[in-house]
Each structure stands twice: as structure tokens, then as C-alpha cells.
Amino acid sequence: MPTAADTPHAGRPRSDELLIEIVDMWKTYVMGATEVHALRGVDLSVPQGEYVAIMGPSGSGKSTLMNLMGCLDSPTRGSYMLHGKLVSALDEDELARIRNEEIGFVFQTFNLLARASALKNVELPLVYAGVPPDERRARAEEALRQVDLLERASHRPNELSGGQRQRVAIARALVTRPAILLADEPTGNLDSVTSREIMGLLHTLHGLGNTIILVTHEHDIAEHAHRIVSIRDGRIASDAKVEHPTLATAGT
């Protein structure tokens, strides 16, 4: 298990500081002559170290919000401060750097590179961060150890189970020691046992100080988080603390 010294956020801002501050964010898609408002003025703040679930039915705008928070997209209007930086004003290269350094993505469909080993997949963000190969390897191995998959480092994704693939993806998300872990339906493609395993891992990672934002449409998955933000029709419908979050054990 990692020790306190290994935790990703030593030296980061204190936990009561805001990591994400979204003010009046709009996202409008123009489809032919009609405008579709995916987000209609969202305000959202996430402090350092929080475990938030964003819930909503499909089409509610939760994926759009997630993409904007992940700097994969830029808002039509509104401001987005991430880790003290005004992200909504950055250009493509700067957004790429933010994605690389500040954000770790976990996708529903894992999105691992099929031809690369687990280790190479985990190394990928470090390649773009310009980390030299030796250090890259060491850090990727450390991240794989954190998700308890070090012994599978040389396996390719098609040689791993769904849960193992998602753990590789989580290791990849963690390897750059990002400010936030953004998990988009991380259990959507997994059975209930494996889902519990992944939720247990997220719980552990949160315990180590990681900020986690979980996007899901399943209520019992959202219940693992400490705060649930519900989105409907591009607006925040409710935002509440979870009194007794479900405790999943890592099951490993």
C-alpha cells in the first residue's frame, strides 16, 4: 500500500480551497438552423479532496459538463477556473497540457490502446509530459501497483478482464498525479461484482487524498460518493451531501 508520502497531493492547496469553480457555464451546439443548449448556466464548485457524483439521465448534459471539466471541450459562455487557472480562455495546446497534468480520465469503455501492454498504456500520459523513459517506467509500475495489477504489466488489454482493464485505465489516470480524477460511467461496462471492486478502488484513492468526480446515471453507484449533483435539462437540479456513502471494499 502507498504510504502518506506517496499520496499524490502533497503540497497541493489545502482541502478547503476550491479546485473547480464553474460560473454560469453554457454550452450551445448549433445543428443546422436550430441551437441546442446542452448546458444552460451551470454553477458548480468542487473543493480539493471531494468525491462528487454527477447524476442525470442521458441527454441531461452531464457528459457535456464532464467534457468541459475535463478540458476536452470549451464552453460557449461562462468561466471555468481549474486549480486557480482560467481554463475557458486557454488555447488547444494549453488545454492539452491541462489534460495531461491536471486531469485523469477514466472512461466507460476503458479506452486503452489495444496494441500496447498495460504498462505502455499507463506510461502514455508520461510520454506526452516528456518524462524520460526510465522514470516513466518506474512511475507507471508504481501506478499499476496502486491498482494491484503490477504482475499483469506486460499483458495487453485483450488478455485482461473488464475489471482489470478498468484498473489499468485508473492507473493511467493516476500516473501523472492529476488534480482530479474524472470517471465517466466507470462501471457502465462491468458486472456488479467487478463494479464493486472498482468503486472500492475509487474509495481507497479518495481516502489517499484524490479529488474524484464520478459521472453516472445509476443511483446506487452515485451513492458511493460524498456529494451528488443532479443535472436535468442542462441545469443543476439538486446538489446534496450524501449522509452515509456506500462503502465498497476493494475486494482484491
Interacting residues with another protein (CB under 8 A): 67, 70, 72-73, 92-93, 96-97, 99-101, 105, 107, 111-113, 115-116, 124-125, 127-129, 172, 176
State in angstroms the smallest separation of the CB of 124 from another protein.
Answer: 5
State in angstroms the smallest separation of the CB of 54 from another protein.
Answer: 17
State in angstroms the smallest separation of the CB of 112 from another protein.
Answer: 8
State in angstroms the smallest separation of the CB of 211 from another protein.
Answer: 18
Nearer to another protein, 122 or 222 (CB): 122
Sign of CA dihedral 152, 155, 156, 159: negative
State in angstroms the smallest separation of the CB of 207 from another protein.
Answer: 24
Nearer to another protein, 73 or 142 (CB): 73
* Grid cell at residue 103: 486531469
Nearer to another protein, 28 or 246 (CB): 28
Nearer to another protein, 3 or 132 (CB): 132
Nearer to another protein, 128 or 135 (CB): 128
State in angstroms the smallest separation of the CB of 131 from another protein.
Answer: 11
C-alpha pair distances (Å), 217 with each of 57, 62, 142, 220, 232: 6, 9, 32, 9, 11
Q: What are phi and psi of 208, to 5 degrees?
A: -85, 0
Nearer to another protein, 45 or 154 (CB): 154
